[in-house]
Structure 1
Amino acid sequence: MKPTLLILAAGMASRYGSMKQVDGFGPNGETIIDYSIYDAIKAGFGKISFIIREEFAEAFKAKFEPKLKGRVETDYVFQGFDLKPFGIDKEVERAKPWGTAHAVLAARNQVHEPFCVINADDFYGYDAFEKMAKFLTTEAADDTYSLVGYQIDKTLSENGSVSRGVCKVEDGNMIEINERTQVYFKEDGSVVYEEGGVEYPLANDTRVSMNFWGFTPAVFKQSEPMFKRFVEANEGNPKAEFFIPLVADELIKSRTAKFKVIPTANKWFGVTYKEDKPIVQESISELVNNGTYPENLWA
């Protein structure tokens, strides 16, 4: 059974200032999602599921259906605000949905095979998709999940500090993940994170999560009770988000599942800030010029 690619695209793109999920970066207006889908199809994924807000559905279908028809199966998962489908009889006023792990849970009735989760606005590179497809078809089990671990110095923006999930790895498995909210390069090229006004060094090859996860459908049943507890604890906090690393952390600590860290030397790039856009365009242009991608991705 071919694995499925779940693309997290329900965010409102608040820092970027526009709907960056359908912004054009390639020579023919290709989006970052286009390159992820291209790599995923090449790596052997059998279905693409877009997790979106229902009001974005027409924009997404118009953008992706014409070029993907006949190439790969597509599906749409709607992430909303209604808690009743999760057995929670409450209404909580929020400006945004409940976060990435809630987005994954929204797919529980539509995904029945091993699957990978990625961000819509991150460029990951073919190596990550190839290694993840191999893991999902040969190693994934209900107690064995994975994430792609990028080198931290290959994931930073020149335009400001970023948040990164810093992984502690032992024997190839993640044993801990810590969210560092202010990570940046120093002038000498070293990497630090800041906390409480103090800088702490990070080795340049430290592995970080860029939200590229591999699961089996068992994670839906494993994470649903966690989500109920999270809502209970955070119903008065409209900005609280149920993130995938929270689920991973609980599964690791309860010894329910282990997370294999799949290393990649690929450079990650994305658009955290508006100023990142020309850098991403230039990076893609280089990959087209060196033959990594065709000039017209879907010709």
Structure 2
Amino acid sequence: MKPTLVILAAGMASRYGSMKQMESFGPSGETILEYSVYDAIQAGFEKVVFIIREEFHQEFRDKFEAKMLPKIEVEYVFQKMTTGTEKYEIPADRVKPFGTAQAILCCQGKVHGPFAVINADDFYGRDAFVKAIDFLKNRANEQTYASIAYKLKNTLSDNGSVSRGEIITNEKGELVGIEERLKIYKKDAGKVVYLDENEHEVEMNPETFVSMNFFCFDKSFIDLCEKEFDEFLSKNISDIKSEFLMPKVADIFIKKGMGVIEVIPTDSVWFGVTYKEDAPVVQEKVKELVQNSIYPNNLWA
């Protein structure tokens, strides 16, 4: 089966204040996700599945299909709060779907082989997609998944704190766990710290590898999400802020001895637009990459 790229694009972008998935950052109006799809095509992906909210379906089609369809197969699935919840009554005051692992459930019937998952609003860089396609074509199976790992220092914002999942590995370089670190920010002299549960600063090594939600899975992961979502709902349906997330399901996969998750470091440059103030920085970095002929002036010309 040909590897598929799944793009999580259903987020509400609450911190950013707008639909950043649709905002232009490239010299010819390209969005960040267009650079991801372009890099994926160059690496060898032949199909992309966008997970979106149904009310933005036509807007997505109008903006992207004409550009991408000649080069890659494009499909859409809709993340709804009710996906996978048929046995349960959702609290009336819940306003958001249940998270990234619920989003994966939407891909049943659309993803038939190994697949990679990324966020729509993160710039991952070409090397990450090259390494992902190599893994998906040669090593992915029901017992072997992968996480593309970025150095912490390359994932920080100058405009506020961020949360990152610190990757913990064993001696074989396999994922043992992902520790969520909240409120990470830069300090003087190149130091990086996060705030623990007592609001105390804890220093982190800037070279530490973190997860940026770039995972590589066998299609069996979708079935695992379905099984674990039912267990999650049985315990958390009444908690309106509860989230069913991919790293949690990946952790269950490891802890239950179902297989291993390789950690694949990448040298790719990561850009993020967590805050509005990040946008001009990202635009400038993209401009530099175009000037250095890493990308053409118009991706789809």
TM-score, structure 1 as length reference: 0.97
Which residue does the alignment assign to 2:184?
Answer: 183
Q: 1:289 aligns with which of 288, 291, 299?
A: 291
Distance, in Å, in 2 between the alignment partners of 1:55 and 1:115 is 25
SS of 2:160's partner is coil
Residues 36-82 of structure 1, C-alpha deviations (whole Å, 9 max, x = no match): 00000010111010000111101100010110121110000110011
Displaced runs of 4 or more, over 4 A = none
**Partner amino acid, structure 1, of 2:210:** V
Shift of 1:2: 2.0
Which residue does the alignment assign to 2:37?
Answer: 37
**Partner amino acid, structure 2, of 1:219:** F
Distance, in Å, in 1 between the alignment partners of 2:29 and 2:146 is 32
Contact preservation (8 Å) 1:2, 1:44 = no
Shift of 1:86: 5.3
Which residue does the alignment assign to 1:123?
Answer: 123
SS of 2:51's partner is strand
Contact preservation (8 Å) 1:159, 1:273 = yes
Which residue does the alignment assign to 1:210?
Answer: 212
Distance, in Å, in 1 between the alignment partners of 2:135 and 2:91 is 38
Distance, in Å, in 2 between the alignment partners of 1:133 and 1:86 is 33
1:56 partnered with 2:62: no
SS of 2:59's partner is helix
1:91 partnered with 2:90: yes
Distance 1:112 1:86, change over 3 A: farther
SS of 1:192's partner is strand
Contact preservation (8 Å) 2:148, 2:265 = yes
Which residue does the alignment assign to 1:167?
Answer: 167
Q: 2:250 aligns with which of 248, 251, 261?
A: 248
Which residue does the alignment assign to 1:273?
Answer: 275
Identity %: 51
**Partner amino acid, structure 1, of 2:32:** I
SS of 2:190's partner is coil
Contact preservation (8 Å) 1:167, 1:177 = yes
Residues 13-58 of structure 1, C-alpha deviations (whole Å, 9 max, x = no match): 1000000001000001100000000000010111010000111101
Distance, in Å, in 1 between the alignment partners of 2:257 and 2:206 is 30
**Partner amino acid, structure 1, of 2:175:** M
Distance, in Å, in 2 between the alignment partners of 1:233 and 1:55 is 30
Which residue does the alignment assign to 2:12?
Answer: 12
Distance, in Å, in 2 between the alignment partners of 1:120 and 1:88 is 30
Which residue does the alignment assign to 1:23?
Answer: 23
Distance, in Å, in 2 between the alignment partners of 1:266 and 1:209 is 13
Which residue does the alignment assign to 2:228?
Answer: 226
**Partner amino acid, structure 2, of 1:198:** H
Shift of 1:132: 0.2
Shift of 1:265: 1.8
Shift of 1:91: 3.2
SS of 2:252's partner is helix
Shift of 1:87: 4.9
Structure 1 portions without partners, runs of 5+: none
Distance, in Å, in 2 between the alignment partners of 1:136 and 1:177 is 21
**Partner amino acid, structure 2, of 1:42:** Q
SS of 1:238's partner is coil
**Partner amino acid, structure 2, of 1:272:** T
SS of 2:257's partner is coil
Residues 112-160 of structure 1, C-alpha deviations (whole Å, 9 max, x = no match): 1100000000000000000000000000010100010000001000011
**Partner amino acid, structure 2, of 1:90:** E
Distance, in Å, in 2 between the alignment partners of 1:158 and 1:129 is 26
SS of 1:188's partner is helix
Distance, in Å, in 2 between the alignment partners of 1:264 and 1:59 is 33
Which residue does the alignment assign to 1:78?
Answer: 78
